[in-house]
Amino acid sequence: MSTIAPANTLTDRLTVFANQLAGDPLEGMRRAAAADFARLGLPHTDLEDWKYTNFKGLQQLDALAPLPILDEAAIDLNKYRIAGIDAYELVFINGRFAGTLSSRFESEQRFISSLALARNLRTGLLLEHLGMYAQQQNEGLTALNTALAPDGFVIHLAKNEVCERPVVIYHISTGTKERGWVNQRNLVIAEAGSQLTVIEKYISDSPIFDNVVTEVVVGSNADVAHYKLQTRYGDAWHVGTTRVEQARDSRYYNATISWSGELVRNNLQTRHNGTGCETHYFGLYLLDHDNLIDNHTLVDHAQPHCNSHELYKGIVGPAGKAVFNGKVMVRPDAQKTDAYQSNANILLADTGTINTKPELEIFADDVKCSHGATIGQLDLNELFYLKTRGIGEEKARTILLTAFAGEVIEAIRIDALREDLLAQLMDELHRMQITF
């Protein structure tokens, strides 16, 4: 561990950053965002969108410790790696791009690298897209991210480029006992006819507050699969906004798996900008202590003949608090929309909390929209059936919970990742059984 990054508090950062912007191609965008942030401030529970998400820690943002800068050579990536996947790897340690641990790829057709490097290598791309989609005008943390984020990942696939290897982003905090914070800004541009799989894995060995914004542009007839894993996230705080723009006949496929983290808020928003789009959202959250996991999703059907399919499932322990808010907007032009949404929850004890709110706003008449939200407990008939076949209480519960949650894991299309997560899920649920 060497020195400490200067100017880590919020006010310091905002002052320092203003002085560093000269010559930065992103200067205009950053200054506008800083002004937005000055107007919006940090989120709080009086805001409709944050009503159930009491993120008290945010008010101490100013007081968060600076993060240590670690020697990349001292990091053993194998500790964090998803086994069995041949992938491009981009590694961020305490918010800094770890070039020596990463497998960058920078060609005309295929750019898999960092935001800091893209500033020179893909300036035009950044100016065209960065900050154009995420809603920084009405979300303080997004504005803050746009103003400050020093780095992140940038992936660009040119027209018809098929990226056969997935890109895995390891976002790791480690090496300190005090909570620090990171703004990470990411951009994914998959041009027409291209194909891409991205896996974001958030890892917290040290306490962290990650404020992440990812903008994803899926070109016409392009295909993007996007996985977000918060499976080894310790007591992290996380606010992550993924904003997706889909062009006609494109496919976007997302799975968000969260079974750790202290305060987690995932925003996932997709807008259809052309006909024939297909959007899949899968989500799984497990809360095993007094943590909070909040998923706010939006599918904005702005064009006709698009489909969206959404399945979020959660298991909430006696002290956990989960929030699901699923908004489906069907605009007047979006005839022949087919939108399906389901949110199913199991409460392990009636002291756990789940706030689930499907929000369907339908302004077109020739559409097929359905949604369902359930909150239940394990089925006693199923439990009894398993027991009469010689499976004890604890094991029977684990089997039923694994089957319930497994439906989401099954949606993962990378065999090695799916099998790895299924095995971990079983252990995790078994541990939850023992704990309660």
Partner 1 sequence: MLQINNLRASIDDKQILKGINLEVKPGEVHAIMGPNGSGKSTLSSVIAGREGYEVSGEVLFNGNDLLEMAPEVRAWEGIFLAFQYPVEIPGVSNTNFMRTCINEQRKYKGLPEMDASTFLRTMREKAELVELDPNLMKRSVNQGFSGGEKKRNEIFQLAMLEPKLAILDETDSGLDIDALRIVSNGVNKLRNKDNAFVVITHYQRLLDYIVPDFVHVLMNGQIVKSGTKELAYELEEKGYDWLKTELKATV
In the complex, which residues of this chain contact partner 1 (CB under 8 A)? 380-382, 384-393, 395-396, 399-400, 402-404, 406-407
Judged by beta carbon, residue 129 or residue 313, the one nearer partner 1 is 313
Q: List the beta strands (DSSP E) in 351-397.
A: 353-362, 368-376
Which residue type occupies 17?
F
Strand (E) or helix (H) holding 398: helix 393-409
Report, in Å, the least distance between residue 433 CB and partner 1. Answer: 15
What is the rounded distance in angstroms from the CA atom of residue 37 to the CA atom of residue 139?
A: 8
Could you tell me if 354 and 319 are in contact, meaning their C-beta atoms sit under 8 angstroms apart? no
Q: Cβ distance 364 to 331 under 8 Å?
A: yes
Q: Nearest-CA neighbor of 294 among 208, 202, 356, 201?
A: 356
Question: What is the C-alpha separation between 287 and 348, in angstroms, rounded?
Answer: 10
CB of 201 to partner 1, least distance (A): 25
**Nearest distance from C-beta of residue 226 to partner 1, angstroms:** 24
Q: Which residue has the tokens 């305060």?
A: 263
Please state, in angstroms and rounded to a whole number, the distance separating the CA atoms of residues 353 and 431.
20
| Of 283 and 406, CB closest to partner 1 | 406
Residue 1 vs 349, nearer CB to partner 1: 349
Q: How far is the CB of 409 from partner 1 (least distance, A)?
A: 10
CB 228 within 8 A of CB 254: yes
Tokens representing 117?
A: 């490097």
Q: Whose Cβ is closer to partner 1: residue 141's or residue 311's?
A: 311
User: With respect to partner 1, which residue has the nearer C-beta, 44 or 430?
Assistant: 430
Cβ 410 to partner 1 shortest distance, Å: 8
CB of 402 to partner 1, least distance (A): 8
> Cα dist. 183→102, 135, 150 in Å?
19, 16, 7
- Decide whether 40 or 408 has the Cβ nearer to partner 1: 408
Nearer Cβ to partner 1, position 387 or 413?
Answer: 387
| 28 or 392: CB nearest partner 1 | 392
Query: 319 or 426: whose CB is closer to partner 1?
Result: 426
CB of 264 to partner 1, least distance (A): 25
**DSSP assignment string, 244-294:** EEE-TT-EEEEEEEE---SEEEEEEEEEE-STT-EEEEEEEEEE-SS-EEE
Are the beta carbons of 265 and 239 closer than 8 angstroms? yes
Q: Please state the closest distance from residue 380 (CB atom) to partner 1, in A.
A: 8
Which among 361, 324, 362 has a CA at the least distance from the CA of 343?
Answer: 324
For the record, the structure tokens of 118 come out as 């893209």
The residue among 86, 99, 267 whose CA lies nearest residue 166 is 86
Smallest separation (angstroms) from partner 1 to the CB of 32: 49
Instruction: Kindly report the number of other CB atoms within 10 A of residue 272's CB atom.
Output: 30
Let me know: does 340 contact 308? Beta carbons within 8 Å.
yes
